Chain A
Amino acid sequence: MLNMYWEVVRIRFLMMLAYRVNYYSGIIIYSLNIGVYYFLWMAIYGDNSSLQAMTAVQMATYIAISWMSRAFYFNNIDREIAQEIRDGTVAIQLIRPYQYLFVKAFQGLGEGIFRLLLFSIPGMIIVSFIFPIDLPGISPAWGYFAISLFLGFIVNVQINLMTGLLAFYIMNNQGLIFSKRVVVDLLSGLIIPITFYPEWAQKIIMLLPFQAISYLPTMTLVKGISGSQFLDAVLIQLVWILLLWIPIYLVWRHARKQLIVQGG
């Protein structure tokens, strides 16, 4: 069973290699983003050495880590699912003895692993030479970060699955997909760490699943969180993973009953 899903990961890896130009342009975009946000935040810090219990160096590290993490957890499966629903290819997926949604999730993982190995890790090394960031050496913090990042990946996949599946009901959900992307970038703490939001906004954001994608994993590395604090963060992520399966399952079950294959 798992054997097959790993094959899916491998195939996606090959597909990513087939479209290398995309990958090169991705490197440029991510480097630009890190640069832009670095200089923006350094301007905000000005002469202050610390804001909201975060030093300037920690902020630089936060930017680098969160963008490089994004390369791992970000994927386009929402757009792909919507596309397959719209042109009717989802029918082909249903004649295969596998779970469509799991296949999509593993395709996302294939994409993630590709970017992690060929993009995030080399990118991180380059960034650490250019900007003054502070990464822990060989320490268990990396292990904690890896666990948390993987859970963040799952939450993001779930949100993508949900967004994609809505194409069953809203045939053209490009706008929805785009706004979801902005919401995730904003509320997951990628653009602004959650502690920088006003008190009331923080309360709301803490009740949403998005923090589990980027903010929680990045903080484990930047602040070197461990022990009970780390367990709390992981617990929040796990709870969201469980909760998010419910609507996905219901929508998928309902959609499959209502399915009309587009284009004959």
Chain B
Amino acid sequence: MLSIKAESLTKEFKVFQSRPGLKGAFRDLFNRQYRVIRAVDAIDLSVNQGEMVGYIGENGAGKSTTIKMLTGILQPTSGQLLVNGYDPHGQREQFVRTIGVVFGQRSQLWWDIAVQESFRLLQKVYRIPEQDFKPYLDRMIEVLNISPLLDQPVRKLSLGQRMRCELAAALIHQPALLFLDEPTIGLDVLVKENIRQFLKEINKEFGTTILLTTHDLADIEALCSRVVMLDKGKIIYDGGLQRLRNEWGDGKKIHIETVDTYTLSQLQAQTEGMKVHWIEEGPMRFTAILENGNAKVPEVISRIVEHVAVQEIQIEEASTEEIVRKIYQEGLVHA
């Protein structure tokens, strides 16, 4: 079953354009100029039940706008959209019972009251019977380790504490689909790890579909098998993380520190016939860049150690972060 099915989903905004200067401001009073911005431009997206999808893109690429359409907050300008079998905007009230949402930058708990009061209100809002509610909530409280926070008002919690409570609140009605809009923004390493672990468990145990937007690619590496990359409102990549790496990674790098001094050409001679590019980093430090897929790390190393006295070897793989940065800068031309 498909959790999300979007066809040529589009959202346009009319943006008021102000004229410069005082004269312009006066003219604006009587005659306003508008400009249409296409935030999401005819995207197609299908997500299966139980998938964990990372949704990435630069600031302003249209990630949040997409999430807001998928959650029924915004009405699409055009295109077909079916989420959990509902039209999110048209059937809002039935639809939102089947989803959970966490906005990293906004709290959905009630600011002035204790966390447990928020949970109780949500129980009533989603009409969860007590016998289902209690054991499930208790488990979340335990896994997320929030029991000491329950009687505190939300405004007194730290960001990490609050985010864990937000997650519990978003999952309280056991939704089949969970949207996370930058859930780990501003959190420390430990809390991040804690939250990732929790999401993995939820996905495994309940088959919850998770759509995650983030700027922290480590989140995606830890959680998602599939990445959807957005640029200027269009999907420019949709597929596995490994494929993205293979196609876009610069290839692996081998850093070598030698015992004696060697020249660059001496090293180049060793890997003759292989697609390896050598760089001299210092008198006794060299880096070999292996062209993607065409040169194997073990072969290069074995050829080098045969003839060169090596002090240390370090193998470096292109990080996802680097790949994504490269794509943003250069655009995905040959995808």
Contact = CB atoms under 8 A, between A and B. Distances in A.
A14 B117 contact: yes
B94 A88 contact: no
B64 A264 contact: yes
A97 B71 CA distance: 12
Interface size band for B? 20 to 34
B153 interface: yes
A257 B75 contact: yes
B106 A14 contact: no
Interface centre among A14, A94, A257 (most CB of B within 10 A): A94
A4 B93 CA distance: 14
Interface string B6-44: 000000010000000000000000000000000000000
Contact of B92 (A11, A19, A94): A94
Contacts of A264: 64, 105
A15 B113 contact: yes
Contacts, number: 68
A260 to B, nearest CB: 6
B121 A11 contact: yes
Interface size band for A? 20 to 34
Contact of A95 (B13, B72, B113, B117): B72
Interface in B113-127: 113, 117, 120-121, 124-127
B110 interface: yes
A43 interface: no
Nearest to A263: B105
Contacts of A7: 120-121, 124-125
B277 interface: no
Given A4-B124, A11-B117, A11-B121, A95 B106 contact: no
Given A7-B124, A15-B110, A97 B97 contact: yes
Contact of A261 (B68, B97, B112): B68
B96 A97 contact: yes
Interface string A5-47: 0011001001100110000000000000000000000000000
A15 B153 CA distance: 10
Contacts of B93: 97-99
Contacts of A261: 68, 73-74
A3 interface: yes
Nearest to B68: A261
Contacts of B68: 91, 261
A11 B105 CA distance: 23
B124 A3 contact: yes
A50 interface: no
25 contacts: A3-B127, A4-B124, A4-B127, A7-B125, A8-B121, A11-B121, A14-B113, A14-B117, A15-B112, A18-B153, A88-B106, A94-B71, A94-B92, A95-B101, A96-B96, A96-B125, A97-B93, A97-B94, A97-B126, A99-B93, A256-B75, A257-B75, A259-B74, A259-B75, A261-B68
Interface of B: 13, 64, 68, 71-75, 92-94, 96-97, 99, 101, 103, 105-108, 110, 112-113, 117, 120-121, 124-127, 153
Given A88-B106, A89-B106, 7 more contacts: A91-B73, A94-B71, A95-B101, A96-B125, A97-B96, A97-B126, A98-B93
Across the A-B interface, give the 10 residue pairs with the lowest CB-CB distance, nearest first. A7-B124, A4-B124, A92-B108, A94-B73, A97-B97, A15-B112, A91-B73, A95-B101, A97-B96, A97-B93
Interface of A: 3-4, 7-8, 11, 14-15, 18-19, 88-89, 91-92, 94-99, 256-257, 259-261, 264
